Homo-oligomer: A and B are copies of this chain.
């Protein structure tokens, strides 16, 4: 690539998060950086879009040499606004999301605003990658991720991704040296919900969503396994949600209408 690649950076933890600061710094080493990120936390927003109220998009100046905008909407709104109003259809060469404070492996891909922003990038036919770290604290240390983030982005720009495919990259925390990169599939795991039930001062009940992550997958080719063994997990993700293998089964059903 002769010209510097143009890179869109987005996240779901909000534009002031340390995770996006790390991602911006690494992307500045690779290309021309544009940031469009939520003006506040948007974790767990999944693929939500804002249709019932208007959106704000305001230019701000947090980091030098970077074109930055904060957006009142969801992570997916950020990507849509970036493509339409900032890049004006001249799409960026890469869309990166994160680095998320907290893992987005396994089923979390579906709840995560970080990953949904990357999915939206892929729907827009932009090579897209979501990055997440196994540390949800605001003080999380992202330093051990930097060289992997850079290399995965450079390899993506060089090799290009198959049509309709993006990457979900998760990092172990910095408690042990990383074992390398492992290409994986999404583990068969889920959250067992537990609602913390409380009573407000007006005697009405309310609930906080909490839960316990349960891995039901014994495979050694899953992202959960890779992270447990201190690998950087890379899962190729697609937005064709068709269960193609089930079509012949369903064609055997005898509908009565």
Interface positions of A from 62 to 78, Cβ below 8 Å from B:
74, 76-77
CA distance A128 to B238 in the complex (A): 21
Whether A41 lies near B46 (C-beta < 8 A) is no
Determine the residue in chain B with the shortest Cβ distance to A51: B44
CA distance A245 to B235 in the complex (A): 11
CA distance A188 to B234 in the complex (A): 25
Is A84 at the interface (CB under 8 A from chain B)? yes
User: Quick one: given A198-B54, A207-B54, A236-B243, are A46 and B76 in contact (CB under 8 Å)?
Assistant: yes
Which residues of chain B are near A218, meaning CB under 8 Å?
Answer: none
Is A30 at the interface (CB under 8 A from chain B)? no
Is A140 at the interface (CB under 8 A from chain B)? no
**Which one of B43, B56, B206 contacts A55 once the chains associate, using CB atoms below 8 Å?**
B206
Which residues of chain B are near A249, meaning CB under 8 Å?
Answer: 162, 236
Query: Smallest Cβ distance from A92 to chain B, in angstroms?
Result: 15
**Which one of B147, B194, B247, B255 contacts A181 once the chains associate, using CB atoms below 8 Å?**
B255
Is A254 at the interface (CB under 8 A from chain B)? yes
Which residues of chain B are near A245, meaning CB under 8 Å?
Answer: 162
Stretch at the interface among A3-11, A18-26, A93-101, A109-117: A109-117
Is A61 at the interface (CB under 8 A from chain B)? no
Is A186 at the interface (CB under 8 A from chain B)? yes
Interface positions of A from 233 to 257, Cβ below 8 Å from B:
234-247, 249-251, 253-257
Which residues of chain B are near A91, meaning CB under 8 Å?
Answer: none
Query: Smallest Cβ distance from A185 to chain B, in angstroms?
Result: 4
Whether B110 lies near A239 (C-beta < 8 A) is yes
Interface flags for A96-131 (1: CB within 8 Å of B; 0: not) read 000000000001011100001001000110000000
CA distance A109 to B76 in the complex (A): 15
Determine the residue in chain B with the shortest Cβ distance to A240: B186
Interface positions of A from 145 to 204, Cβ below 8 Å from B:
147-148, 151-152, 154-155, 159, 161-162, 164-165, 167, 180-181, 183, 185-186, 188, 190, 193-195, 197-198, 204
Is A45 at the interface (CB under 8 A from chain B)? yes
CA distance A224 to B197 in the complex (A): 43
Shortest 9 CB-CB distances between A and B: which pairs?
A: A46-B47, A236-B246, A238-B243, A236-B243, A54-B206, A48-B48, A46-B46, A185-B242, A165-B243
Other A-B pairs, 9, CB within 8 Å; known A43-B51, A46-B76, A107-B123? A48-B48, A48-B111, A57-B207, A110-B119, A162-B243, A164-B188, A183-B250, A188-B240, A239-B241
